[in-house]
Amino acid sequence: MDPIDLRHLPDDGGAAISELVATTPERPLYVRVGADDAASVSLLSKLGFVEVSRTASAAAGHGRTAEEIVLALPPTLE
């Protein structure tokens, strides 16, 4: 499964992330978020996501490098 890109969430991204986790049954669930989005990274960590990779690439149209993180929500043992 390709990571779900969370970089373009609406202002209330926390609700969207929580709903995504609740309504997407497959695990591991991968998401991509900008490294500078501390609020989303913090929320994802609280929900059980762990960082699996970090990359820097040219930010199209911004003339700078942007860092993004891919996180995964691993399967739970029940």
Report pTM: 0.76
**Backbone phi and psi for residue 19, each to the nearest 5 degrees, phi listed first:** -65, -40
- As separate numbers, helices (DSSP H) first and strands (DSSP E) second, the chain gives 2, 4
What domains sit in the chain, N to C, each tagged with a CATH number? 4-73 (3.40.630.30)
Sheet of strand 4-5, all strands in order from the earlier edge strand to the far edge: 4-5, 29-34, 64-73, 50-59
Give residue-wise pLDDT tens across range 24-77.
888 999 988 888 888 889 989 998 999 999 998 776 666 788 899 999 999 876
CA distance 20 to 60: 27
CA distance 36 to 42: 11
The DSSP call for residue 33 is E
